[in-house]
A and B are shown apart, each in its own frame.
Chain A
Amino acid sequence: MLGQVRSYDGDAWVDWQWVGDHLDDIRTAAQTHIVVTAEVVALGALIALPLSLAAARRPVLRSIVLGVSSLLYTIPSLAAFALLIPYTGLTSRWTVLIPLVSYTLVVLLRNFISGLDAVPADARAAADGMGFSNRQRVLRVELPLALPAIMAGVRLATVSTIGLVTVSAIIGQQSLGLLIRDGLERDFRTLIVVGAALALLMAVVADLLLHAFSRAITPWRRAR
């Protein structure tokens, strides 16, 4: 390490020399960012799916579920991270996962429930008429028909999670945000620009990929 006395340009927007020397660090940050985002969205969807199936036909449960999740949304992520630290620990990933999963619930529940709402009564009646069990009707008729709305929710949740994961850097957790924070603290612009640019790029790419994916899995929508 001591042999590395090469000095980097702190004022340049991007010092490519530094980028070349630190590809591994950048890759680690980006990978962690992707993994955390995937975990958050997957957990959120796992929670939201049964909840919305249960709430879609029960007005009381529905308003409770939607009300509680919107209330959670008003808590700033930064405060949620900071407040969980005494319970989960500074370095535990749960400190980041718990708040971010709860934020995704607002978007996911709203979209899942409105998707299920939009399933035409005819389609449900037809499924019943064909002798489908409740379970079959949900799996083969309601969920496929709600898929566009479900995917729209997943897309929104993913993109906003990518943004929120960067904030977790303020409490020191690994992500692209940590590059940004280190750059600010060491007054080294390259780190800031690289971290921010990759976070922006990741969000845009995820948005496009999920859009393409949701089109691919709902081929019947294109037929129109």
Chain B
Amino acid sequence: MSLLGDVYEWMTDADSWRGNSGITHRLVEHARYTATATIAAVVIAGPIAAWLGHKRRFGTLGMNIANIGQTLPTFAILVLVVQVVGTGDAPVVGPLALFLAMTLLAIPPIFTNVYTGVANVDDAYRDAARGLGMTSRQQLLRAEVPIAAPLLVTGLRIALVQVIATATIGAYAGTGGLGRFIIDGFALQDYPQVFGGALLVAGLAIIGDRVLVAVERHVGVNSPRI
């Protein structure tokens, strides 16, 4: 029980929250790393997956290529990128390595869900869109993507939760973020800090997930159910 007491003390101590190595700063860093990587994955995989889904072509090939990202062990990628970019303790190397590793991790669930969502839009809606005189591009953007929105958001949610939890290992490559509490706490045998860091990561993941659910409810078109 004393561990939980110490965790509570650490998390409620105003000093833990202040400064460049305080919780507030680390939370913001963590959110920034995960947001940039997830957005990059959406920008890279989203349009390709949507277009291929629209054409209903190369889905398996695309998913297999995207899955390579999930196959690659994140820790190995992180360390390798640091080696390739340069081991100098330049403050850019760690975050860059983390960014690449996290983007690779986020691509597969996004690709798979966008492709599957768009490819599985009912033919009736596709025909209706065509019947309204929409171009291929309009069909995709105005009919198929909105109808597939729930699945698109599911892919985004899986990617985001994974990235938030995994980005902690960036601390091993010298980045900031919540992983610092875990790595540094472990090195110092300061378990309350490790536990507190883990709680913050889990909390951030849950909040991120809830935010996406809420966004989907508000922005998403009520996809017609048959």
Per-residue CB proximity of A177-214 to B under 8 Å, as 1/0?
10010011001010011011101100110010000000
- Supply 28 A–B pairs (Cβ within 8 Å), ascending by A: A74-B161, A74-B164, A74-B165, A76-B179, A76-B198, A78-B168, A78-B182, A78-B186, A79-B197, A82-B191, A86-B191, A156-B70, A159-B70, A160-B70, A163-B72, A163-B73, A163-B75, A169-B75, A170-B172, A171-B186, A177-B73, A180-B79, A183-B79, A187-B87, A192-B79, A197-B76, A203-B71, A203-B73
Q: Complex formed: what's the CA distance from A76 to B170 in Å?
A: 12
Size of the chain A interface, CB-CB below 8 angstroms: 40
Check if A139 is an interface residue, CB within 8 A of chain B.
Answer: no
Q: Is A162 an interface residue (CB 8 A)?
A: yes
Interface size of B in residues (CB-CB distance below 8 Å) = 37
Closest residue of B by beta carbon distance from A167: B75
Complex CA–CA separation, A170 to B169 (angstroms): 10
Structural contact, A79 and B70, CB atoms closer than 8 A: no
Cβ-defined contact, A80 with B72, below 8 A: no
Q: Is B67 an interface residue (CB 8 A)?
A: yes
Chain A binder among B20-28, B201-209, B218-226: B201-209
Q: Mark A151-162, 1 if CB is under 8 A from B, else 0.
A: 000001001101
Interface of A is mostly: helix
B59 at the interface (CB under 8 A from A): no
Instruction: Provide the residues of chain A in CB contact with B74, threshold 8 Å.
Output: 163, 167
B185 interface contact, C-beta 8 A: yes
| Total A-B residue contacts, Cβ distance less than 8 Å | 111
B76 touches which of A73, A79, A159, A166 (Cβ 8 Å):
A166
Would A184 and B70 count as touching, CB distance under 8 A?
Answer: no
A167 with B71: CB separation less than 8 A: no
In the complex, the answer to whether A200 meets B201 with C-beta atoms within 8 Å is no
Is A75 an interface position by the 8 A CB rule?
A: yes
Is the Cβ of A200 less than 8 Å from the Cβ of B191? no
